[in-house]
Amino acid sequence: MTDHASTPTAPAPRRAAAARPQQPVDEKIDAFCHILPRTCADRLFALDDVPALANLRRRVMDIPALVDLDVRFRQMDEFPGYRQLINLAAPPAEDFGTPRSAAHYVRMANDALADLTARHPDRFAGFCAAVALTDVDAAVAELDRAVGELGAVGVQIYTHVRGHSLDEHRFAPFWARAAELDVLVQVHPCRNATWPDYPAEQRSRYEIWWTLGWEYDLSAFMARVVFGGILERHPSLKLLIHHGGSMIPHFSGRIGPGWDQLGSRTPPDQQADIEGPPLSKRPLDYFRMFYADTALFGAPHALRCALEFFGPERVLFASDSPYDPEKGPGYVRSSIADVNRMDLAPHERTAIFAGNLRRLTAGRLLD
């Protein structure tokens, strides 16, 4: 009988070291970035007689990530936990063709955005629909279709419609429906070199129309929404203003006491310039009802100002990708760095990176 106690045995195999628990990857959802589905790109670049497209071609033809998903996904891989809420890249559909052709284009675009989101939920958390507001009834119908049938979580609009302010009465049905649907409304600036810097000139110089003009457009849009009574009538509207709320946080000291005196210094023959629906609050209080994004391109001081004005609960992480000098990842990287440089509580940082967007889209985002 073998004495097992005295029988030499092979050393027991070494147990594999227990895997270290993975640190959770912070979720980051880019709430304002752009894409150009292939079908839309083919349609746009086939139009040779549309002036709005001449500028577009020059600006986007050398940005592969707008159209090429392989390039886009490789860039996104740099950022763990990062997904995008996509929208249609400029120009506004209203700027080319007839209202009918614009309506056809946005319908095609929304189908494509919905398809991209459905096929790549690990990359795209959702999409914001395109509409063409040259035909308001058609825009409302397309918004209903995009939200109800395609699953859009919001809609992207521009600061004006072919030079017309969105507080004109004809746009009222759009605002009413956006409020009823409780969707996120992304607001993108829009002007070009034909908008001169000074009245005596014919064109803008040095691309002032873009660098500074777009920020004026956003700020003027906000003011017309306020004084046109849109937020008074629809206080639940979720208006996301690109580029950190633009000029408003930086000039809140001028906006507050300045517009508290609206009309007190206006000559009698100019009273029509200040007439509008009655407001129940200070103008400054309405400006705080907007939401802002972090697309400020490596300017932490500007983001700090936006956070102080709107509060962390009204600021959403966004990059404006892929329009940076690296053609994709640069603004994502700088926007993340800017948020991480802020003196925020952990729950505030989490809210900015994804929580605020999830709250505003009320469960519509893909998991």
Tens of pLDDT along 174-192?
999 999 999 999 999 999 9
Q: Check residue 291 and report its DSSP letter.
A: E
pLDDT confidence of 44, banded at 50, 70, 90? confident
The answer for residues whose C-beta is within 8 angstroms of residue 287's C-beta and 6 or more apart is 222, 226, 248, 252, 255
Among candidates 131, 133, 129, 168, which has minimal Cα distance to 152?
129
- Percent of residues, the chain, with pLDDT higher than 90: 84
| Domain assignment present for 9 | no
What does pTM read for this prediction? 0.91
Contact 147, 181 (CB under 8 A): yes
| Domain assignment present for 231 | yes
Q: Which two tokens stand for residue 83?
A: 């997904």
| Domain assignment present for 4 | no
Exposure letters 81-100 (e unless 16+ CB within 10 A, then b)? ebbbbbbbbbbbbbbbbebe
CATH number at residue 175: 3.20.20.140
**Domain tally, the chain:** 1
CA distances from 70 to 67, 119, 201, 203, 206 (A): 9, 14, 44, 38, 34
| Domain assignment present for 346 | yes
Omega of the bond leading into 322 within 30 degrees of 0 (cis): yes
User: What is the dihedral angle through the alpha carbons of 144, 145, 150, 156, rounded to the nearest 10 degrees?
Assistant: -60
pLDDT confidence of 306, banded at 50, 70, 90? very high
Contact 310, 290 (CB under 8 A): yes
Residue 52's pLDDT is 62
What mean pLDDT do residues 132-152 have?
98
Q: Which range, of 21-35, 150-164, 206-220, 235-249, averages the lowest pLDDT?
A: 21-35
| Domain assignment present for 8 | no
- Give the mean pLDDT of the chain: 91
- Cα–Cα distance, 126 to 35 (Å, whole number): 12
- Cα–Cα distance, 32 to 334 (Å, whole number): 14
Range of the domain at 94: 28-262+273-360
| Domain assignment present for 22 | no
The answer for residues whose C-beta is within 8 angstroms of residue 80's C-beta and 6 or more apart is 25
Whether residue 8 is predicted with pLDDT greater than 50 in this model: the reply is: no
Q: Which two tokens stand for residue 337?
A: 């760095």
What mean pLDDT do residues 332-347 have?
98
Q: Which range, of 39-43, 230-234, 277-281, averages the lowest pLDDT?
A: 39-43
Contact 69, 75 (CB under 8 A): no
Among candidates 361, 333, 346, 321, which has minimal Cα distance to 84?
321
Q: Which tops the pLDDT comparison, 206 or 62?
A: 206
| Domain assignment present for 45 | yes
